């Protein structure tokens, strides 16, 4: 990734064009760029590594098979990939018979916090993870895309098929609800 957003956008456009023409190495570079983001997004939804890997694989396989149908509309390919991911997650929950309880702390989060010396931060991180799952699906997605992946409102709007104004409103409510849930948890423990 470069620091110059214009150069990065141009580079990405070229990678997309070459991928559309069937150049697998170009798609490989797009994969490298978005794998972790898509994986995280899916992981926050399903809370389970194997399931997240399986769905991530489906997302990129589908993207590669349908790249010829992708028409750039001034937005990065990320919005398109997130749309595919959202649809795959919806299909996943539609067909899945048993649900992983999202309230528990998954191995990944535990692994993430095990080396933390600041206990307050560690506890906060785990509470934020569990609190995220008390939000609505849209609020949860907004939190992940905006504050973890640092997407622009425009990108989020494109990924979620919403107006930018609606995304801002949704974001405001999401962070407010998350804060309230965390405060309620702290009050219970105190």
* Residues near other proteins (CB under 8 A): 22, 24-25, 27-28, 31-32, 35-36, 39-40, 43-44, 49, 52-53, 56-57, 60-61, 64-65, 67-68, 108-109, 112, 121, 124-125, 128-129, 143-144, 147-148, 175, 178-179, 182-183, 186
164 close to 157: Cβ distance less than 8 angstroms = yes
Phi and psi at 3, nearest 5°, equal: -85, -20
The owner of tokens 């425009």 is 154
Q: How far is the CB of 39 from other proteins (least distance, A)?
A: 4
The residue (of 4 and 115) whose beta carbon lies closer to other proteins is 115
Alpha helices (H) along the chain:
5-20, 24-46, 49-65, 77-95, 107-113, 119-132, 137-143, 153-160, 164-189
The residue (of 9 and 112) whose beta carbon lies closer to other proteins is 112
Q: How far is the CB of 4 from other proteins (least distance, A)?
A: 21
Report the C-alpha gap between 100 and 131 in whole angstroms.
16
Q: How far is the CB of 161 from other proteins (least distance, A)?
A: 20
The residue (of 161 and 183) whose beta carbon lies closer to other proteins is 183
């Amino acid at each position: 990734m470069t620091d110059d957003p214009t150069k990065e956008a141009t580079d990405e456009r070229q990678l997309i064009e070459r991928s559309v023409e069937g150049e697998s190495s170009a798609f490989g570079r797009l994969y490298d760029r978005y794998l972790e983001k898509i994986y995280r997004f899916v992981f926050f939804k399903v809370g389970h590594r194997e399931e997240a890997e399986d769905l991530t694989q489906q997302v990129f396989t589908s993207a590669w098979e349908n790249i010829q149908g992708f028409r750039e509309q001034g937005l990065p390919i990320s919005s398109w990939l997130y749309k595919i991911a959202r649809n795959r997650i919806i299909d996943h929950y539609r067909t899945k018979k048993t649900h992983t309880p999202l309230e528990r702390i998954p191995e990944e989060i535990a692994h993430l916090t095990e080396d933390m010396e600041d206990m307050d931060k560690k506890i906060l991180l785990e509470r934020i993870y569990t609190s995220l799952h008390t939000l609505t699906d849209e609020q949860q997605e907004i939190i992940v895309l905006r504050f973890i992946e640092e997407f622009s409102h425009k990108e989020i709007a494109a990924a979620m098929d919403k107006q930018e104004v609606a995304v801002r409103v949704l974001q405001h409510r999401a962070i407010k609800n998350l804060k309230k849930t965390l405060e309620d948890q702290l009050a219970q423990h105190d």
